Amino acid sequence: MPVHHLTTPLTDTAVDALRSGDVILLSGTIYTARDAAHRRLCDALDRGEQPPFDLRGAVIYYVGPSPAPPGHPIGAAGPTTSYRMDSYAPRLHALGLKATIGKGRRHATVRKALAEHTAVYFGATGGAGALLAQRITAARVIAYDDLGPEAIRELTVQDFPLLVINDAHGGELYVTPQLPEGD
């Protein structure tokens, strides 16, 4: 499997070169957001407001980290199940979001949006939140502080280990049982 060292923000060229099964070591700035933050983000977009960070080239990590222990920027930071964000993801990809990070399979509408907008879905290892946190060098809340662990955070990562699950060409690495393709 090829190993790619990528730095955010991601470009179409970098994303287009990726294939399902590729190993990624990601560095730079990424953002956290889970269900409640996605709902608020899309509600704000519906009102014509700007998102709290530039979506163009951005990466969103589906995580609700635990509190930071003394001397660390963040606590355990393992991925959450991605399908809960599937109703929001196509809209965010259309606005320039280049990648999401989580665990589990994505709905067909998300996979279609990845192809249409040259974007990718990365898998992070579930159950390894403490190890993944070691690759996070800085963390700060930038929006929706009242959501606690689900607030949007800006993270700085160094060689954050990922696997390409869905690429921009329709490729998919099967890692979990197929989800129903409901409406």
Supply the residues annotated as catalytic: 38
Q: What SS3 class is residue 125? A: coil
In order of 22, 58, 60, 155, 183, the CA distances from 32 in angstroms are 22, 11, 5, 7, 26
- Residue for token digits 């704000």? 44
Tokens, residue 103: 């665990």
C-alpha distance from residue 142 to each of 10, 24, 40, 58, 155 (Å): 20, 26, 13, 15, 10
Burial of 67 (0-12, 13-18, 19+ CB in 10 A): exposed
Distance between CA atoms of residues 82 and 74, nearest Å: 21
